[in-house]
Structure 1
Amino acid sequence: MYRYDQYDQAIVDARVEEFRDQVARRLSGALTEDQFKPLRLMNGLYLQLHAYMLRVAVPYGTLDSRQMRMLGHIARTYDRGYGHFTTRQNIQFNWIKLEDAPEILAELATVEMHAIQTSGNCIRNISSDQFAGAAADEVTDPRPWAELIRQWSTFHPEFTYLPRKFKIAVIASDTDRAAMRLHDIGIQLVKRDGRIGARVFAGGGMGRTPMIAPEIAEFVPAEELLSFLEACLRVYNRHGRRDNIYKARIKILIHDLGADEYRRQVEEEHVAVKALGLDPPLAELDRIAAMFGDPPFESVESPLVPNGDAAFAAWLDQNTSAHKHPGYRVVTISLKPIGGIPGDASADQIDLMADLAERYSFDELRVTHAQNIVLPHVAARDLFAVWSALRDAGLAEANLDLISDIIACPGLDYCSLANARSIPLAQKIATRFGANGRQQELGELKLKISGCINACGHHHAGHIGVLGVDRKGVENFQLLLGGSGAEDVSLARITGPGFSEDGVVDAIEKVTDLYLARREDGERFLDTYRRLGMEPFKEVIYG
């Protein structure tokens, strides 16, 4: 994984001391909240309903055991003993005291971590495939490219104050595990004529106006990628709306201009940017890529041994995935125990995952956009030991991509923007469907919940999505069907009038019962929905 050089470390250390001074001035009253707000947001510090929330960056979701242990230390020392992993592959601490924030950032800096550009109208944390470097189907490891983009975008003077926040995802296979086309810019690394380059999409996103990103470039050579991204951002920065926050995202600009006109302007701008010589030499990408080389895998294939334990066998089947190297598996640790809070992990659980990574996964972990944790390189012979440790820590739920593997935002329990609570609803759904093998019978079914229209829970991309709204001071939940953030990307549609909290759980049960009654061999819920259309589901819900 990438390691800071002296310049990286100096930049982060200087930012910490700068923010320490800003916090001191706020606490003394020398800065008002209005003056302080843009400064704290540039350091990932939000003021939520009950306390400050600190969002810590985990670039492209990759971290090691010392960094993971630092997150556990922060949870234990400065929060209430837990952290919340997010859909941007970051972690949030929800109970931070303002006076502690500079010291937290200083401690993060000792393990090459920070909270820079996790907020504000800038290029946010670069996300990627959580199986990067381990997946058999990738054309190259996308993380060096993500790191190159991170370095280019950090403190970029032209893109510090964009019309709105900007999100970029990088993948390197036809299987999309990062919801790439629902980003402001999505990049799929591809190989053409023996060369690696980028297929670029722009203008995706969720929120109140969800859109799927159209293709902007079929193939951008590696040596021109940064200048092409610079051109994409320049066109957006030049024409993006700043007079209306609801129309400020790049997806609105591309929709209004049309993809063809946006593409034309980007191509024209790209010619000008290339002439400036802003692209680094390929040797720089090679330098970064050298830090992401394969660990010393053993060459002898180890068989998968279920050990006769039914719970272990179920976990092995559901929560481990094929690895590019024989004898290894990719392990996904579910942070979605039945009845638990999606994405939360206690300080002790965080420490345990760090220990397992150090012992069994070449000291490497990944945060997923579905709010789980991955051990990317586990030898088959070690799987039972890993599962046993996870089981004892309450982390061995065998529910990856099942209905209880719910993406959910913090909702009205924490967020000042939310209209409804996401967490209690997620707990009720998981409890109802997690018992008696019901979710295993349903199979792959991705359910996602947002507590407001900002869609931090990705409800538009759920096979089943739930959106919390306010109906005259009462929490109400809209039910959506048919979304996907994967390579078969689609946007979910609202079924009709909303429900109470208990009512939407009942409606989900009716929808899934219809699926079980009408599915054909091999069909997922999403497949059956697409074949039947919305009307049979509306009929069973509303009568």
Structure 2
Amino acid sequence: MYRYDQYDFQIVKERIEQYRDQVRRRLSGELAEEEFRPLRLQNGLYLQRHAYMLRVAVPYGLLNAQQIRMFGEIARKHDRGYGHMTTRQNIQYNWITLEETPEILEKLASVEMHAIQTSGNCIRNITTDEFCGVAADEIVDPRPYAEIMRQWSTFHPEFAYLPRKFKIAFNGSVEDRAATAVHDLAFTVLQNEQGEVGFRVMVGGGMGRTPILGSVIREFLPREHLLTYTEAIMRVYNQYGRRDNIYKARIKILVKAIGAEDFARQVEQEWTDIKDGPSTLTEDEFNRVAAYFAPPAYEPLEDGGAALKAQQEENKAFSNWINRNVKPHRVPGYAIVLLSLKKTGVPPGDMTADQMDFVAGLAERYSFGELRVTHEQNLVLADVKQSELFALWQEAKAQGLATPNIGLLTDIICCPGGDFCSLANAKSIPIAEAIAERFDNLDFQHDIGDIELNISGCINACGHHHVGNIGILGVDKDGAEWYQVSLGGAQGNQSSIGKIIGPSFSAHQMPTVIERLLEVYVRDRIEDERFIDTVRRLGVAPFKEHVYATPIKARNNAGEDAYA
């Protein structure tokens, strides 16, 4: 993984000292909140319902054991003993005091981390496929390109005050596991017929108030032009993106307004002047960065499939975990392990300080000291020997991190919602917990199979509800919390935006709503058809009809039975 050089250390140190003085002036009253707000946001500090929230950048989701131990120390000493993994592959702390933030940033810097550009109208944390470098279907490892983009975009003066926040993703595999279609800008790394590496470029994707799938504006961009072409895109957006309306300021609105073809034309025109400029990516620079991502010291192992199968036959619980939480690795004898942060009774994505210390140890013992955060709010140990899977499973199980539900109904993606966020219309975590408790039967979940359920507490869509097979959105209805349900959303190679099924529901009704949706699926599915494929085949109508056919018995504030 990438390690800081002398310039990184100097830049981060100087930023901390600058911020420390800003905090001092705010506490003394020299700075009013409206003056301090843009300064704290530049350092990832939000003011939420009950306290400050600090969002720490985890570049392309990659961590080492030392870094996650530091996360645990911060959670223990500066928060309430836990942190929250986000859909941007970052970590958030929800109970931070302003006075302690400079000390926290110092601690992060000591392990080569920071909170820069995790907020504000700038280029945010670069995200990727969580299986980069180890996926069996990988074409090109995108991590060097993500790191190059991170270095180029950090503190870039021309793009520090964009019309709105800007999110970039990279994918380098056959299967898109980076949700590229719903990013402002996305690069799919590929090779042409001549074996040259380049990118398929997609712009204008996003969720929020106006969910849109991105448009491809270039089928093949040679890799040396990664930064110059990005610069051209950013300049067109910076010049023509709206600044008069925050809800219409994202690049997706600009691309939709003028059309992808005209947007591409303007980018190409802008690019002509800078195509071979100083930002051109040289072979030497690429090799310098790529060296940080050299494969670890894999041992020459035989494929352990036979022995693993025998262990599975002896232990059903272990077998369930292998089938859901373990993925194929490109190197014989190794496996990719997902640690679920979705145990029933725990807010999705939350980790305690003790668990952070524990997974640091797991990474050191089983996976070359590295681990990863996924945009689905779980963790990955990317390089585990097949012969050590059983021992790893036993350790993870004892710490509540081996729930065999990856990709299943209770692997819920969920934002912090109204329990913490001042922007939320409704709570998200209690809805996730109620649904998880209703369907906390692993045999039932395995029978239902792959299904993605996403929950957002407001239209900003931090829970990615638009691309959930089942999406739940918290809405305000005359001062009360209600929930809108959509069907048919999906990420990946067949990305789609979900369709709202009808009027909203109360919080107490939501588990029954999910139950009725699943009843239609079980009734009408064909053989091993996935939930999303059944929805696409049948459309929303039969699901809607069944959900609203009879009142859902839940009490509203007036003590009456109703569904909305």
**TM-score greater than 0.5 by the shorter chain:** yes
Partner residue, 1:423: 429
| Pairing partner for 2:447 from 424, 441, 446 | 441
Answer yes or no: is 1:21 the counterpart of 2:21: yes
Aligned residues of 2:226 and 2:281 also touching (Cα < 8 A):
no
Answer yes or no: is 1:292 the counterpart of 2:298: no
Partner residue, 2:283: 282
Structure 1 CA distance for aligned equivalents of residues 302 and 235 of structure 2? 50
Partner residue, 2:326: 320
Structure 2 CA distance for aligned equivalents of residues 331 and 278 of structure 1? 37
| Pairing partner for 2:378 from 372, 376, 380 | 372
The number of residue pairs the alignment matches comes to 543
Q: CA deviation at 1:522?
A: 2.4
Aligned residues of 2:335 and 2:383 also touching (Cα < 8 A):
yes
The 5 A counterparts of 1:58-207 are 58-192=58-192, 193-207=194-208
Answer yes or no: is 1:454 the counterpart of 2:460: yes
State the one-letter code of the partner of 1:269: E
Structure 1 CA distance for aligned equivalents of residues 226 and 168 of structure 2? 13
Structure 1 CA distance for aligned equivalents of residues 74 and 302 of structure 2? 39
1:27-75 per-position Cα deviation (integer Å, ceiling 9, x unaligned): 1111110110000000000000000000000000001000010001100
Quote the sequence identity (%): 57
Q: CA deviation at 1:433?
A: 1.3
Aligned residues of 1:479 and 1:504 also touching (Cα < 8 A):
no
Partner residue, 1:409: 415
Aligned residues of 1:75 and 1:347 also touching (Cα < 8 A):
yes
The 5 A counterparts of 1:236-315 are 236-304=237-305, 305=308, 306=311, 308-315=314-321
State the one-letter code of the partner of 2:239: R
State the one-letter code of the partner of 1:54: L
Aligned residues of 1:463 and 1:526 also touching (Cα < 8 A):
yes
Partner residue, 1:224: 225
Structure 2 CA distance for aligned equivalents of residues 422 and 240 of structure 1? 32
Partner residue, 1:6: 6
Partner residue, 1:396: 402
Answer yes or no: is 1:479 the counterpart of 2:485: yes
The 5 A counterparts of 1:472-511 are 472-511=478-517
Aligned residues of 1:478 and 1:498 also touching (Cα < 8 A):
yes
Q: CA deviation at 1:139?
A: 1.3
Q: CA deviation at 1:480?
A: 0.4
1:511-541 per-position Cα deviation (integer Å, ceiling 9, x unaligned): 1111011111221000000001111111111
Aligned residues of 2:223 and 2:281 also touching (Cα < 8 A):
no
Partner residue, 2:353: 347
Answer yes or no: is 1:49 the counterpart of 2:49: yes
Q: CA deviation at 1:226?
A: 0.5
Structure 2 CA distance for aligned equivalents of residues 338 and 327 of structure 1? 32
Aligned residues of 2:125 and 2:167 also touching (Cα < 8 A):
yes
Structure 1 CA distance for aligned equivalents of residues 372 and 20 of structure 2? 30
Structure 1 CA distance for aligned equivalents of residues 345 and 532 of structure 2? 25
Structure 2 CA distance for aligned equivalents of residues 468 and 285 of structure 1? 44
Partner residue, 2:557: none
Structure 2 CA distance for aligned equivalents of residues 191 and 411 of structure 1? 41
State the one-letter code of the partner of 1:41: L
Q: Helix, strand or coil for the counterpart of 2:372? A: strand
State the one-letter code of the partner of 1:229: T
State the one-letter code of the partner of 1:528: T
Structure 1 CA distance for aligned equivalents of residues 318 and 50 of structure 2? 40
Aligned residues of 1:242 and 1:248 also touching (Cα < 8 A):
yes
The alignment's C-alpha RMSD in Å is 0.9
Q: CA deviation at 1:439?
A: 1.0
State the one-letter code of the partner of 1:219: F
Structure 1 portions without partners, runs of 5+: none
Structure 2 CA distance for aligned equivalents of residues 457 and 231 of structure 1? 30
Q: CA deviation at 1:339?
A: 2.2
Q: Helix, strand or coil for the counterpart of 1:375? A: strand
Q: Helix, strand or coil for the counterpart of 2:494? A: coil
Q: Helix, strand or coil for the counterpart of 1:273? A: coil
Q: CA deviation at 1:302?
A: 4.5
Q: CA deviation at 1:384?
A: 1.0
1:185-209 per-position Cα deviation (integer Å, ceiling 9, x unaligned): 0110010020110100000000010
Q: CA deviation at 1:340?
A: 1.4
Aligned residues of 1:302 and 1:381 also touching (Cα < 8 A):
no
Aligned residues of 1:302 and 1:379 also touching (Cα < 8 A):
no
Structure 1 CA distance for aligned equivalents of residues 217 and 232 of structure 2? 12
Partner residue, 2:366: 360
Structure 1 CA distance for aligned equivalents of residues 376 and 66 of structure 2? 23
Partner residue, 1:470: 476
| Pairing partner for 2:542 from 533, 536, 542 | 536
State the one-letter code of the partner of 1:527: D
Structure 2 CA distance for aligned equivalents of residues 6 and 277 of structure 1? 22
Q: Helix, strand or coil for the counterpart of 1:170? A: strand
Q: CA deviation at 1:278?
A: 2.1
Q: Helix, strand or coil for the counterpart of 1:175? A: coil
Structure 2 CA distance for aligned equivalents of residues 276 and 311 of structure 1? 57
Q: Helix, strand or coil for the counterpart of 2:198? A: strand
Answer yes or no: is 1:525 the counterpart of 2:531: yes
Partner residue, 2:554: none
Aligned residues of 1:303 and 1:380 also touching (Cα < 8 A):
yes
State the one-letter code of the partner of 2:138: E
Structure 2 CA distance for aligned equivalents of residues 401 and 384 of structure 1? 21
Structure 1 CA distance for aligned equivalents of residues 278 and 203 of structure 2? 23
Question: Could you tell me the TM-score, scaled by structure 2's length?
Answer: 0.95
> After TM superposition, which residue ranges in structure 1, 4 or more long, deviate above 4 angstroms?
none
Q: CA deviation at 1:141?
A: 1.0
Structure 2 portions without partners, runs of 5+: 550-564
Structure 2 CA distance for aligned equivalents of residues 436 and 28 of structure 1? 55
| Pairing partner for 2:438 from 432, 447, 453 | 432
Q: CA deviation at 1:275?
A: 4.4
Structure 1 CA distance for aligned equivalents of residues 478 and 453 of structure 2? 26
